[in-house]
Amino acid sequence: QVQLVESGGGLVQAGGSLRLSCTASGLTFDYYAMGWFRQAPGKEREGISCISWRGGSTYYGDGVKGRFTISRDNAKNTLYLQMNSLKPEDTAMYYCAVIGYASCGESWSRAGGSYWGQGTQVTVSS
């Protein structure tokens, strides 16, 4: 079965950086667009970023543009999210997800993914 395992979360001060990883198994990783989402307590799920199957296209939510970078290593079946200039409002549980075949599509942020990881907590202190 498909498994997605996130890692790399933690506690960091405002202005700091973290790199999240998501290792996938049970699927042909390089066939699929992948995404990162987050959800803070009491808030709706937010689409952060999406990357196409070969990494040629990337998309970002407005709140993270210029600060976060999504990437993937298809040889390692791993998705990454480099997060710089972190702010307290970035505090949330972060999830990776399988978006769909090849491309992100126009509705990736709203539609979410077909498979999800268990999440990794990111906490940014002020």
Residue 4 tokens, joined: 């997605």
Residue 17 tokens, joined: 């950086």
The pLDDT tens digits for 7-26 are: 999 999 999 999 999 999 99
Query: What integer pLDDT is reported at residue 89 of this predicted model?
Result: 96
The pLDDT tens digits for 66-107 are: 999 999 999 999 999 999 999 999 999 999 999 998 999 989
Query: What integer pLDDT is reported at residue 111 of this predicted model?
Result: 87
Mean pLDDT of all residues in 46-72: 96
How are beta strands 10-13 and 120-125 bridged, if at all?
parallel
Q: What is the CA radius of gyration of the chain?
A: 13
Residue 28 tokens, joined: 């042909």
Mapping DSSP to helix (H, G, I), strand (E, B) and coil, where does residue 89 land? helix
Query: What integer pLDDT is reported at residue 39 of this predicted model?
Result: 97
d(C-alpha 124, C-alpha 13), whole Å:
5
Quick one: CA dihedral 67, 69, 105, 3, positive or negative?
negative
Query: What integer pLDDT is reported at residue 112 of this predicted model?
Result: 87
Q: Within the chain, how many helices (H) and strands (E) appear?
A: 1, 11
